[in-house]
């Protein structure tokens, strides 16, 4: 009869019950698409056209009721909001870390040498004392003045060593272009060619980094060509 519902209809067929169901759920394109896909999957499973990929998954193996679908959507939305909040907190933490690192880098560039200069203050004080003592003596106590200057020099080298600045060994060593700068070459009968025979200016390095090369004079064989890697011979 025309007034009775068709009991042979399956989920997804147009019916008055389907129309009522559509009116009872808030209009949401994503939810409607999910329900249509779930209904089609349930119909395929019922007809034997496909098997569940995971038989233990209730959501894929059994029809999804309206209340369950809404609960799943609500849970997924909550998880999405929670993930968004975590992302925002992570971005805020990273931004704070970047600002702190930039500030520390700027402070290191501006004040990184503070400890070095603090250690050098005592060297300056002792040098001032030596100069003042020499002036008070009218320049007559030259020996005391020299002793004061030597004391200042030892103290200064101690400050260098404390900050990992060491003198480059050069005299009597083979010429090394990575550490030495040849200012001239001289013939020598007592030193091997390519050996440093004189140091014009001492070199220093900070740990393994060159601060200033040692400016040296290099030996060459009598009547022979210049040492390989050396600077130009003195004219």
Residue 107, in any domain of the structure: no
The whole-number pLDDT of residue 183 equals 96
Q: Per residue of the chain (235 residues), give pLDDT as tens.
A: 444 444 444 444 444 444 444 444 445 666 666 667 766 766 665 565 555 555 445 445 456 666 677 888 888 888 898 999 999 999 999 999 999 999 999 988 888 888 888 888 888 888 888 888 877 877 667 778 788 888 888 999 899 999 999 999 999 999 999 999 999 999 988 899 999 999 999 999 999 999 999 999 999 987 655 444 444 444 3
Give the pLDDT of residue 75.
86
Q: Do 124 and 146 sit in the same domain of this protein?
A: yes
Q: Are 141 and 134 in contact (CB under 8 A)?
A: yes
Q: Are residues 125 and 146 in the same domain?
A: yes
**Are residues 150 and 177 both part of a single domain?**
no
Q: Which of 41, 64, 87 is the last residue of a domain?
A: 64
Distance CA(235)–CA(201), nearest Å, equals 19
CATH code for the domain in which residue 215 is found: 2.30.22.10
**216 and 186: one domain?**
yes
- The number of domains in the chain is 3
Last residue of a domain, one of 163, 184, 201: 163
150 within domain boundaries: yes
Please tell me the predicted confidence (pLDDT) of residue 70.
Answer: 82
Q: Is residue 104 part of a domain?
A: no
Give the integer Cα–Cα distance in Å for 230 and 213: 13
Residues whose CB falls within 8 Å of the CB of residue 93, separated by 6 or more in sequence, listed in order: none
Would you say residue 10 lies in a domain? Answer: no
Q: Is 23 inside any structural domain? A: yes
What stretch of H or E contains 145? helix 142-162
Rounded distance between C-alpha atoms, residue 234 and residue 140, angstroms: 40
24: its two tokens: 């009872």
Residue 143 confidence (pLDDT): 79
User: Are 216 and 190 part of one and the same domain?
Assistant: yes
Query: What is the predicted pLDDT for the residue at 223?
Result: 67
Q: Which domain holds residue 153?
A: 114-163
The secondary structure of residue 188, as a DSSP letter, is -
| Structural domain includes residue 87 | no
Residue 73 confidence (pLDDT)? 84
**Helical (H) or strand (E) element with 61:** helix 58-61
Residue pair 152/158 in contact (Cβ under 8 Å)? The answer is no
Task: Kindly state whether residues 180 and 153 are assigned to the same domain.
Answer: no
9 found inside a domain: no
Q: Is residue 138 part of a domain?
A: yes
Q: What pLDDT is attached to residue 118? A: 87
């Amino acid at each position: 009869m025309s007034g009775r519902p068709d009991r042979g209809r399956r989920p997804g067929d147009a019916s008055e019950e389907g129309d009522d169901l559509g009116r009872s759920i808030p209009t949401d394109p994503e939810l409607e698409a999910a329900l249509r896909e779930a209904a089609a999957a349930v119909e395929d499973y019922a007809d034997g056209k496909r098997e569940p990929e995971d038989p233990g998954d209730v959501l894929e193996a059994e029809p999804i009721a309206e209340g369950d679908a809404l609960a799943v959507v609500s849970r997924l939305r909550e998880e999405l909001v929670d993930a968004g909040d975590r992302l925002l907190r992570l971005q805020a933490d990273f931004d704070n870390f970047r600002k702190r690192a930039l500030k520390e880098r700027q402070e290191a560039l501006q004040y990184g040498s503070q400890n070095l200069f603090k250690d050098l203050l005592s060297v300056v004080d002792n040098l001032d004392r030596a100069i003042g003592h020499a002036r008070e003596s009218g320049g007559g106590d030259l020996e005391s003045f020299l002793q004061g200057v030597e004391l200042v020099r030892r103290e200064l080298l101690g400050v260098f060593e404390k900050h990992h600045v060491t003198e480059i060994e050069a005299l009597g060593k083979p010429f090394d272009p990575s550490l030495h700068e040849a200012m001239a070459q001289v013939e020598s009968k007592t030193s091997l060619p390519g050996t440093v025979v004189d140091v014009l200016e001492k070199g220093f390095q900070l740990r393994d980094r060159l601060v200033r090369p040692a400016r040296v004079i290099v030996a060459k064989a009598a009547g022979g060509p210049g040492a390989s890697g050396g600077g130009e011979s003195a004219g």
